[in-house]
Amino acid sequence: MDRSEPDHDLHRIFLDPSRRTRPMHKWRHYFDIYERFIAPFRGRPITLLEIGVHQGGSLEMWRAYLGPQARVVGIDIDPSCAAFAGEGVEVFIGDQADPAFLRRVLDEVGPPAVVVDDGGHTANQQITSFEEIYPALPCPGTYLVEDTHTAFWGGEYADRYDGRSFLDYAFDRCRSLHEWTMRRHAFERFGTPPDERRGGATPVSAFCRRTGSVSFFDSVVVFERADRQEPWHQIR
């Protein structure tokens, strides 16, 4: 292997077609990102949901990587993708921009711990899927949105009817992480442990309370779930 190539199991499954039967299409630099965020879920009885099945190879890769306890679920708008269901792999046919369809999938499969959005890559598709699925994720949980470079492509990729792209939306979510700490006048308040503060906890959005991080990479945004407490600071 070229020394500049990622050197881990997931990338080896991608490179070695004998470990799967179908082709897939992935940017090479995504493998380090997957490894970093998805490796903690290996060997566990979790559900991974991938939006965008295409030729089925990535569903096989996730199954091989996560292990036999994992349930792998694919969503695609193309009915021919139903043929890629198999042992431990389910496929649902529908539109990732249709909230009612997404709710039906979640009702049937339960909350996925890992979501990979590799579907149609328009702003509306990415945002609608995120808004429907992300609140259902457990802690820990990871939601990856791929090919976010499409935000620079213009048209429906960059504009969810309001001139805003998924990257704009994700940066707004990044702001939401700071709902506790963003008010300068409240800085002193955070010098007291949360359970001793006058007035109790400051109300924040469910996103802020249940998100540990938002990570931006070239073409990928990753959201990690976490149960957060109101933060505090100390001089010691």
Ligand X SMILES: C[S@@+](CC[C@H](N)C(=O)[O-])C[C@H]1O[C@@H](n2cnc3c(N)ncnc32)[C@H](O)[C@@H]1O
Q: Which CB, 9 or 95, lies closer to ligand X?
A: 95
Cβ(38)–Cβ(142) below 8 Å: yes
Q: Which of 29, 121, 185, 233 is catalytic?
A: 121
Instruction: Report the nearest approach of ligand X to the CB of residue 53 (Å).
Output: 5
* Cβ–Cβ under 8 Å, residues 116 and 142: no
CB of 25 to ligand X, least distance (A): 4
End-to-end CA distance of the chain: 49
Q: Which residue is nearest to ligand X (CB)?
A: 120
Q: Quick one: residue 14, left, alpha or beta (phi over 0 = left, psi -120 to 50 = alpha)?
A: alpha
Shortest distance in whole angstroms from residue 137 CB to ligand X: 19
CB neighbour list of residue 196: distance below 8 Å, 6 or more residues apart? none
- Length of the chain as a residue count: 236
Q: Which residues bind ligand X (CB under 6 A)?
A: 24-26, 50-55, 57-58, 75-78, 95-97, 118-120, 125
Nearest 5 degrees, angle CA 207-CA 139-CA 11?
A: 105
Using the minimum distance from each CB to ligand X, give the nearer residue, 166 or 180: 166
Q: How far is the CB of 3 from ligand X (least distance, A)?
A: 25
When the beta carbons of 95 and 224 are compared against ligand X, the nearer one is 95
Judge whether 121 counts as a catalytic residue: yes
Query: Which residue, 77 or 204, is less far from ligand X as judged by CB?
Result: 77
Which amino acids are annotated catalytic? Answer: 121
